[in-house]
Amino acid sequence: MQEYIQNPIIKELHEKIENHYNKSEYEEAILIIDSVVRQDTYIESTLKNYAVVDFASHYIEIADYIRVENSNLALKLVCKAIGILNHKAASVPEMQLLILCNIARAHLIKYDIKHIEKANDEGMSILTFSYDNTIFGIKEDVSQAISNYWLAMKEINEGDELYNIRNNLSNALARVGRFVEAIALFNDNVTEFPERWESRASFSDALLNIVDSSIMQRTPSLYYAVAEGYVSSLRHDLNNGIRNTIEQNLNICKFYLQNTDLPFDYDNILKNRIEENNEFDQHSDFRKFVLKNHLSLNEHAIFCKCKNSSKDDLRIGLKAGSSHFSALGVMPKLDGLINRLVSEFSFARLQYYNYIKDLVKFEDDVEYSILSNFDICGYKIEQLRLSYRLSYSILDKIANGVIDLSDIQRNGRVSYFENVFDMYKEELKYVFNIHLSSLYSISLDLNKDQGSLRFFKRLRNEMEHGFLAVNESQGVKNSVVSVSENELREFTFDLLKLTRAAIFSFTFFIRTQTIHTYG
C-alpha cells in the first residue's frame, strides 16, 4: 500500500485531477479517471487494483461537486463508482475501509440527487426524510449508507478517520429520523475531538430537528446547549454558506431565550454547562454510567446530564399535559406498553451493568460437567445473556405496538420487528411520520438477510431456542454456534443502545400520531 501511495505516476495523476478541480474543469478530470479505471494509463500491474479503487472514488467527489448543477451526470458517476468499488472490494482488502466509506457516501449522494429538485424549489439546503412520500423510500440508498458506515466504524477505533466516519454516520442517521442515535454519536465526537467543529454544529442541528419533530418540551437548557454548539463552530474558519446557516439557526435560540427573559451571551452558555457538570457529579455511579453511555430513557438526557436526567421518565404524554386521539381503548394499551418497555429495558440495562462491574456476588453453589467446558456457565454470564435477550424482545413488542397504533388487522400473520414493515407494507405506505421512518431504518439494520446487524437475530434465536456457547476466545471446535465473551459483551452494549433509540422513536411516533392539543 505504501508503494502505491509513493508511486510517482499516481502522484502526478492526482495532481492533475486536483488542478482540474480547482478550475472546476470536471469533464477533464473525468477523462483522467476514466483512463485509469479502464487501465489505459500505464501503471504497474501490482498496483492496478489499488489505482482503480482509488480513482473510482474521484467519481464520487465530482458527483458531490456537481449534483445541483448537473444531477444527471452526478447520478451516473455515483452509480458507476458503486459498481466498480463493489466489484474490486475482494481484490484489495487493504482498502476495505476506504471502499466502505466511499460506497456509503455515494449512496447518500444518490439519495440526495433524487430529491434535489424539490429541495431547490423549496429553498432548502438540508435534505431530510420530508422529501420522501413514504417511509419505504429510504430502503435502498440511505439504509445502505448507514450499513456501510456501521461496518466502517468497526474497522477503526481512533483518530481523524473515526471522527469522520462517526460524523458521516450520524448525518446519515439524522436523514431518516434516527436523531437519538445521531445526537449520541455527535456528542461522542465533541467529547473526544473538542477541537473539531463539524460535529458541534451537527449536534445542534439534530437537537433542533428532534424538538421540532417530536413534540418535546422546549427548555432554556436545551437552547443553551444548541447555542453552545453553534457559537463554538463560528469560531472556526467557515465558508460563507455554512456560516450564514449557523447564524440563522443561532437566531432561533436567541429568540426563544429572549422571549423567556433569559440573557443570551457566552457567559450564560458557559454557566449552563458548568451547572450541568456540577449536577452530573451528584448522580450515583450507576446513573453516571447510564448517562455517559447514552442508555437513559429520559428526554432531557438526550442533550443534558443535569439533575433533570436523574430518572427515566419517558411516556407517551407530556408532563405539562396532553390530549390524545385514537381508536377507543388503544391509548391505555399503548401507555401500558411503554411502561412495559421502560421496565424491561431498565432491567436489561441493570443486568449489563452488574455484569461488567461484577457487582452482584453469588455463592458458588453449582457444579458443571467438564465435557462442556467450551461454554462459560454460571450466574455472572447469565446476566449478560439475559440483558441481550430482553433487549431484543423489546423490539418485537415495538413491532406489535406499531400494528396496534396503525389499527392494522393481523389476520393470523405473525410478525417480528425486522420484518413487520415489509409484511404490512400496503397498510403502512401511507403513514407519513419521521419516527416510523426511524423504526423502519433500524429494522433494516437488523434484517436477517441483508442487514449489517443481521447476526443479532441469529444470536437471539440461538440463545432462546438453540445452544449458543459463550467461550473465553473465538474458534471453539464443535458443532454449536459460539461467540466469545468479549464479543457478546460488545453485541449486548450495541443492542442496548439500538433498543433505547427504538423505544424513543416508538414513543415519539405515538405522540406525533395521536396528540391533538397540548399545553
Secondary element (H or E) of residue 125 = none
Entry pTM = 0.91
Residue 392 has pLDDT above 60, yes or no: yes
Contacts of 372 (CB under 8 A, 6+ apart): none
Give the model's confidence band at 289: pLDDT under 50 very low, under 70 low, under 90 confident, else very high: very high
Residues counted in the chain:
519
Tell me the per-residue pLDDT of 33-68, one tens digit each, with 9 for 90 and over: 999 999 888 888 888 899 999 999 999 999 999 988
Q: pLDDT at position 480, please? A: 63
Which region, left, alpha or beta, applies to residue 518 given φ > 0 means left and ψ of -120 to 50 means alpha? beta
Q: Rounded to the nearest 10 degrees, what angle do helices 485-514 and 455-465 cross at?
A: 110
Tell me the per-residue pLDDT of 300-339, one tens digit each, with 9 for 90 and over: 999 999 999 999 999 998 877 777 877 667 888 899 999 9
Report residue 328: phi and psi, to 5°.
Answer: -55, 130
- b (16+ CB within 10 A) / e for 184-211: bbbbbbbeebeebbbbbbbbbbbbbbbb
421, amino acid identity: F
Q: pLDDT at position 206, please? A: 95
Residue 266 has pLDDT above 50, yes or no: yes
How, if at all, do strands 322-324 and 515-518 pair? Answer: antiparallel
Secondary element (H or E) of residue 286 = helix 285-292
Please report, rounded to a whole number, the percentage of residues in the chain having pLDDT higher than 90: 66
Tell me the per-residue pLDDT of 436-474, one tens digit each, with 9 for 90 and over: 999 999 999 999 888 889 999 999 999 999 888 898 876
Q: pLDDT at position 519, please? A: 43
Quick one: cell of 152? 466502517
Secondary element (H or E) of residue 517 = strand 515-518
Residue 353 has pLDDT above 70, yes or no: yes
Tell me the per-residue pLDDT of 103-114, one tens digit each, with 9 for 90 and over: 999 999 998 888
Give the model's confidence band at 127: pLDDT under 50 very low, under 70 low, under 90 confident, else very high: very low
Tell me the per-residue pLDDT of 473-488, one tens digit each, with 9 for 90 and over: 764 455 567 899 999 9
Tell me the per-residue pLDDT of 396-408, one tens digit each, with 9 for 90 and over: 999 999 999 998 8
Give the model's confidence band at 125: pLDDT under 50 very low, under 70 low, under 90 confident, else very high: very low
Report residue 483: phi and psi, to 5°.
Answer: -135, 160
Give the model's confidence band at 123: pLDDT under 50 very low, under 70 low, under 90 confident, else very high: low
Rounded Cα distance between 156 and 143, Å, is 21
Tell me the β-bridge partners of 324.
515
Q: pLDDT at position 359, please? A: 82
Highest mean pLDDT among 41-50, 377-386, 423-432, 496-505: 496-505
